């Protein structure tokens, strides 16, 4: 009976080929328990709470991406890549994707023939349309369509846009993204506005955010609110703290924290995301947050190396790294900076467990882990973990390492000056590592 019940729940006809929904056919409560057990195996001696699931765990993805190509008969197809390959599995509709996005993608596929738009062939490099990405805003209903082309030239673009909008008047913006590289990356770096603002806006935790084609934004808006509320609970902000939001993206975590902290510093390497973050702060009149376009680890290392009188004391660090987790250099920078609390948001329990092991050895104790199911029907699970600084026995070691790091940077710069000056040896001045190049 149980097998029959599970079989009925596997409602996607391409589940096996797609490979995206690994938990198809498993009752939702059992999915959550499987995920809890996985997290427990990965994080070690940390209290793992019951995962927070969704009341309606379908059609939650607000970013939908479809690859375009042709089948053996020459018919246009669009869908997802088969797991581990670049073979396109045709998809008409997906149980975890926004239904409006799926309908728009189907319409675009139907328009290609009449507009004589060829799909791109990865082997020959011939053709134009590579992918379509649709982003939808949960709170505002705005929709952004991104046409990823191998060339900046879209034939009859005005008529194409007109036809697409006639079929879907709910679309608020259309962008042409140019990806002329022979790469597996979906988006290129250049965006050309075809209609609307070139971005959408969504609301989350009381703030309004601008989301551009290349910006990172959590794919499940309902659960993101749950996740951030838990992160704020762990941070225990009173309005007096200085907070760093590392890997800040478009500023969602940092701006949520800004309502409860004295000041927030957001650091992000992606320049497009930083531009959106700055615009978001202005839009929400958030005046106690500042964003820097640089590597977060290097930024924190520089803060830690600053002289005592110039150093900014950081109370809490939020970190939300990519699936690959944090680098050892980044984690070292966190331990050198020595905030009282670290709130680690992770989308991969395996890399989370690895990083927690490092933090344990460098003065931090993981207190509690709250899984949040951002990705129902998949084997992915988001987690938020509270880490607290332990005894001060590592304090002198951290200060020594920070000072040594700052001195190495100073000596490196000094060698450059001496090399440029030839035999002239300038007098050494005080180390400049404490001056923050913001």
Of 175, 176, 184, nearest in space to 81 by CA: 184
**3-state DSSP assignment of residue 182:** coil
Count how many residues are written for the chain. Answer: 438
For 420, counting Cβ atoms within 10 Å of its Cβ (0-12 exposed, 13-18 middle, 19+ buried), the class is exposed
Number of helices and strands in the chain (H, E): 12, 17
Among 12, 42, 347, 369, the active-site one is 347
**3-state DSSP assignment of residue 236:** coil
Helices 328-337 and 395-421: angle between axes, nearest 10 degrees: 110
| C-alpha span between 253 and 229 (Å, rounded) | 10
Residue 286 appears among annotated catalytic residues: no
* Tokens matching residue 437: 């190049």
Helix (H) or strand (E) holding 412: helix 395-421
Distances (CA, A) of 375 to 62, 115, 154, 171, 199: 12, 36, 35, 25, 24
**3-state DSSP assignment of residue 421:** helix
Q: Which residues contact 427 (CB under 8 A, 6 or more apart)?
A: none
Q: Which residues is 289 bridged to in the sheet? A: 264
Q: Which residues contact 302 (CB under 8 A, 6 or more apart)?
A: 406, 409, 433, 436
| C-alpha span between 189 and 213 (Å, rounded) | 10
CB 24 within 8 A of CB 10: yes
Phi, psi at residue 394, to the nearest 5°? -95, 0
Q: How many CB atoms lie within 10 A of CB 136?
A: 26
Helix (H) or strand (E) holding 179: none
Cα dihedral sign for 220, 226, 229, 231? negative
Distances (CA, A) of 89 to 93, 134, 174, 247, 326: 12, 18, 25, 33, 33
Q: Which residues contact 354 (CB under 8 A, 6 or more apart)?
A: 325
Q: Which residues contact 223 (CB under 8 A, 6 or more apart)?
A: 52, 54, 60, 372, 373, 374, 382
Catalytic residues: 347
């Amino acid at each position: 009976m149980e097998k029959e019940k599970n079989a009925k729940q596997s409602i996607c006809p391409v589940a096996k080929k797609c490979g995206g929904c690994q938990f198809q056919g498993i009752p939702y409560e059992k999915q959550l328990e499987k995920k809890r057990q996985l997290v427990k195996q990965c994080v070690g001696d940390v209290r793992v709470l019951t995962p927070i699931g969704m009341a309606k765990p379908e059609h939650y993805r607000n970013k939908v991406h479809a690859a375009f190509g042709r089948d053996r008969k020459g018919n246009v197809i669009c869908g997802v890549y088969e797991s581990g390959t670049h073979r396109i599995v045709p998809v008409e509709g997906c149980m975890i994707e926004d239904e409006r996005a799926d309908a728009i993608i189907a319409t675009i596929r139907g328009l290609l023939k009449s507009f004589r738009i060829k799909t791109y062939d990865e082997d020959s490099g011939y053709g134009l349309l590579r992918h379509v990405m649709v982003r939808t805003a949960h709170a505002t209903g705005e929709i952004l369509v991104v046409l990823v082309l191998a060339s900046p030239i879209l034939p009859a673009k005005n008529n194409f846009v007109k036809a697409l909008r006639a079929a879907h008047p709910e679309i608020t913006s259309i962008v042409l993204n140019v990806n002329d590289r022979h790469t597996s990356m979906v988006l290129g770096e250049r965006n050309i506005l075809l209609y609307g603002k070139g971005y959408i806006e969504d609301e989350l935790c009381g703030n309004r955010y601008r989301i551009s084609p290349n910006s990172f934004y959590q794919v499940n808006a309902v659960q993101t609110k749950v996740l951030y509320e838990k992160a704020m609970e762990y941070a225990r902000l009173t309005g007096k703290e200085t907070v760093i939001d590392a890997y800040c993206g478009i500023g969602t975590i940092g701006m949520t924290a800004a309502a409860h902290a004295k000041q927030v510093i957001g650091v992000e390497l992606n320049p497009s995301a930083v531009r959106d973050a700055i615009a978001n702060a202005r839009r929400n009149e958030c005046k106690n947050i500042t964003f820097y376009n640089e590597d977060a680890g290097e930024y924190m290392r520089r803060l830690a190396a600053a002289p005592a009188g110039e150093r900014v004391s950081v109370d809490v660090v939020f970190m939300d790294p990519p699936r690959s987790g944090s680098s050892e250099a980044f984690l070292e920078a966190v331990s050198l900076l020595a905030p009282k609390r670290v709130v680690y948001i992770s989308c991969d329990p395996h890399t989370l467990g690895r990083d927690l092991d490092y933090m344990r050895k460098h003065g931090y104790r993981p207190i509690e882990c709250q899984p949040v199911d951002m990705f129902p029907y998949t084997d992915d699970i988001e987690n938020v973990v509270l880490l607290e600084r332990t005894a001060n026995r590592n304090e002198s070691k951290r200060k020594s390492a920070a000072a040594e790091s700052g001195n190495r940077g100073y000596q490196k710069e000094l060698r450059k000056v001496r090399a440029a000056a030839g035999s002239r040896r300038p007098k050494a001045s005080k180390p400049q590592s404490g001056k923050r190049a913001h």
